[in-house]
Amino acid sequence: MTFNLIDINTWERKPYFEHFLNHTRCTFSMTANIDITRLLAKTREMNIKFYPVFIYMVTKVVNCQVEFRTCLDEEGRLGFWDQMIPSYTIFHNENKTFSTIWTAYEVNFYSFYKNYQQDMKLYGNVKEISAKKQTPKNAIPISCIPWTSFTGFNLNIFNDGTFLLPIITGGKYFNQGDKLFLPISIQVHHAVCDGYHASQFFNELQRLADECKEWL
């Protein structure tokens, strides 16, 4: 993984970054419903789990947009990662707790799915908040709340407000007419992302869902 430094003095986003980081520090979240009718039917036809499909799609879209890979490193320097990997939550039904696991990302879905299955085999029953240790710095937080079809979701992070990477949360899919929809929320830092970028995130997810036969 490579962290590419950004020269803020020549960066076209400099005034927005400085305003939303130093003067009006803020994050925002957006929630949209993605039509997964075709996608869910395809996963059932192929007998593959939907959650890793969701994780793969989110990670693929994040890796296609540099705004979602832009952050500060441990020394406070601004830059972006060449590639992000997913760090996702799993639920333990026995005690109603969750753990976080990270999985190496692969462009090919089935290579990623194999990595996911291996990690679940090794760490799926580890009941610790971090089931798989040594999470890489280029990890993107992904979670799911499959018990509720929410219309909005927001995380309140009480730190210094410099966490710039997006946080993605999926909900319970639901029927609307003859279609199935999945609510997905993305929370971003306004210093590196605007409404346009968040909208592109959802548009690309919908495109992947519509074109699932090309990569599943």
CA-angle at 208, arms to 182 and 103, nearest 5° = 80
136: left (phi over 0), alpha (psi -120 to 50) or beta: beta
Query: Is 189 an active-site residue?
Result: no
By DSSP bridging, strand 179-189 and strand 85-92 are unpaired
Of 23, 92, 190, 197, which is the active-site residue? 190
- What is the 3-class SS of 75-113, one letter each residue? CCCEEEECCCEEEEEEEECCCCEEEEEECCCCCCHHHHH
What does each C-alpha distance from 128 to 95, 107, 117, 188, 206 come to in angstroms?
12, 29, 19, 27, 34
Q: Which residues are catalytic?
A: 190
